[in-house]
Amino acid sequence: QKEVEQNSGPLSVPEGAIASLNCTYSDRGSQSFFWYRQYSGKSPELIMFIYSNGDKEDGRFTAQLNKASQYVSLLIRDSQPSDSATYLCAVNTGNQFYFGTGTSLTVIP
């Protein structure tokens, strides 16, 4: 069983729509959770982190954490073509960071 699982996609949404990206993790002791964006040929760029159950909003991005269900999600409102990238979910178990394989998002103009 993988530590962090993501739907690889690709996920396509029209410009202006809400994109919903999901991630599950296996270690109940996981303490912190991160979303990174990676453009093709570039390095991962931190978008958001969340430590507590509930929602955390930053601009057009909202991270949601449900520790009971071991589930993390990222919502992107008013999606733009520039949001087209691979989104990586990462989990810190206290010993190590684990990354999902990423979800490819395409925002169609």
Stretch that binds other proteins, among 12-20, 58-66, 69-77, 99-107 (CB under 8 A): 99-107
Local structure of 81: helix, strand or coil: helix
- The answer to whether residue 109 forms part of the interface with other proteins (CB under 8 A) is no
Q: In angstroms, what is the minimal distance from the CB of 20 to other proteins?
A: 20
Q: Are 74 and 35 in contact (CB under 8 A)?
A: yes
Burial class (CB in 10 A: 0-12, 13-18, 19+), 19: buried
Residues at the contact surface with other proteins, assessed by CB under 8 A: 31-32, 34, 36, 42-46, 49, 88, 90, 92, 94-102
